[in-house]
Structure 1
Amino acid sequence: MQTEKVAQHIVNWLKDYALNAKVNGFVVGVSGGIDSAVTSTLCAETGLDVLCIEMPIHQAASHVSRAHEHIEQLKKRYTNVRDTRTDLTPVFEEFKTEVSLDADQATVDMALANTRARLRMATLYYHAGLYKLLVAGTGNKVEDFGVGFYTKYGDGGVDLSPIADLLKSEVYQLGTYLKVPESIMKAAPSDGLFGDARSDEDQIGASYPELEWAMQMQDEGKTEEDFTGRQKEAFKIYKQYNTANKHKMVAIPICTIPKDLK
């Protein structure tokens, strides 16, 4: 990948889109992970207003410290970057008192994890409306179009997606070029939706290099029968997520009414 040219292409795309939309810049949820770090830095490179928001909900201490480090670095490097913090933990806890938790624990935990993401989405759009900003998405190609590893109308609810055509490995290449803090570059990717430090690999059962490989194999028309051992297992995991989360990756189905019924 021609990293410098790709970075500049995204920066130009972001700036052109914002200027055409007649907005002031971008708002980005900063989690302490590589995707939000790269996205917020690319936004900063446009020279337009960038608001970085921390939105902790019982957040792991390691995530919080990395987010702080990144935001402070950005503010030192770019005068157009500012930040705010919205502690959503009390909101989340109050939400739990008003809904039924009468289901098996795993189901409840997943529903609440998605609720965290949706509370954050609402917070980003509140600030976007307040300051006339666009919500910049932080999803990469593997997450958004491979395994669907995001929350519909949560971190999937954005105005534009600057890194959604980049594989995770390519995001890391941009991270190096954009001087993302080493602590973020070395940290295991995590969605931070469960209040602990569990990684994406812990949840999915396969690493991002494996998922990238499986995505390429599917594009080449390969099937599970073409592989053995760990490759077969990784390909199967990818296919299961890709199939189960297809509803996130395609347009919302519309019931079209026949003309003779109108």
Structure 2
Amino acid sequence: MQTQLITEHIVEWLKNYAVNANAKGYIIGVSGGVDSGVVSTLCAMTGLKLLAVEMPIRQKADQKSRALEHLKFLESEFPNAECRTIDLNAAFEAIYETFDADDEVFPAENLAFANTRARLRMLTLYHYGQINGLLVCGTGNKVEDFGIGFYTKYGDGGVDVSPIADLYKTEVYELAKYLNLPESIKNAIPTDGLWDAERTDEQQIGATYPELEKIQKEWGTRTEADYSGRDLEVFRIFQRMNRAAQHKIQPIPVCEIPENWRK
């Protein structure tokens, strides 16, 4: 992978898009993970204004420390980067009480509240983005966005641009090394940080990103009959999640009205 060329290409793409949109730069949520670490750095490299925001909601200590370490890295390396923490705990707890959560929360309600965290962060980014003239930059990679739909609709999926959505997770890690990000970010175990109990992406999905990437690269050219053993298990995971995520992956369906009915 030609990391330098890819880096320069994304930075130029981000810069041109913002300039053409008459935006001052980008706002991005920093989670302490490799995706947001790479994307926030690429945004900073445009020379345009970057507002990098940590938005804790019942956050684990290791996630918070990684996010804060990366914010310090951005401020030390890029004079155009402004970093801040916007504590969303009180806002989330108010929503939690307003929605009258059951003391013994049902699995579906657990998932709904996990997605509510992502949507509250999206609301926050768009609020501060609008008042500062900034575009909301997404951090989804190719497997998450177009493979298994591992993101929250109108949460972390609610963005203006997606600069790494054509890169696999393993390629994002390569960019992190090339950009010389803090070790904690380069080695961060993928997690969405949306649950009270620690849940890695692998635990939630049942497969690693390299395993999923192998299936996605062959998607549409091979069938279930072509796989066996662990590859077959991962194929079935990918297939199930891909089918369930079509409402995220495909454009919002529009009910078209026949023209002759308008007369």
Matched, 1:2 2:2: yes
Q: Check 1:90–1:110 CA distance in 2 against 1; reply closer, same or farther (3 A cut).
A: same
Within-5 A mapping of 1:1-262: 1-101=1-101, 105-219=106-220, 221-262=221-262
User: Aligned-pair distance for 1:100?
Assistant: 4.4
Runs of 4 or more above 3 Å deviation: 100-104
State the alpha-carbon separation in 2 of the partners of residues 64 and 11 from structure 1. 27
- Cα deviation for residue 104 of structure 1 reads 6.2
User: For each residue in 1:215-249, what CA deviation from the matched residue of structure 2 results, as whole angstroms up to 9, or x when unmatched?
Assistant: 01214x21112111111001100111101001101
Deviations 1:142-171 (A, max 9, x none): 100000000000000000011111000110
Show structure 2 runs of 5+ residues with no match.
none
Range with bigger deviation, 32-41 or 81-90: 81-90
CA deviations over 1:6-54 (Å, ceiling 9, x no partner): 0000000000011111111000100000000000000000000000001
* Structure 1 residue 197, shift from structure 2 partner: 2.7
Amino acid in structure 1 at the alignment position of 2:223: T
Amino acid of the structure 1 residue aligned with 2:72: E
Contact 1:30–1:37 (8 Å) recurs in 2: yes
1:59 and 1:196 in contact (8 A); partners too: no
* Identity value in percent: 53
TM-score (norm 1): 0.97
Aligned equivalents of 1:6, 1:255: Cα separation in 2: 39
Structure 2 distance, partners of 1:28, 1:91, is 19
Report the secondary structure of 2:219's partner residue.
helix
What letter corresponds to residue 255 of structure 2 in structure 1? C
- Structure 1 unmatched runs, 5+: none
CA contact (8 A) 1:32 1:67 kept: yes
Aligned residue pair count: 261
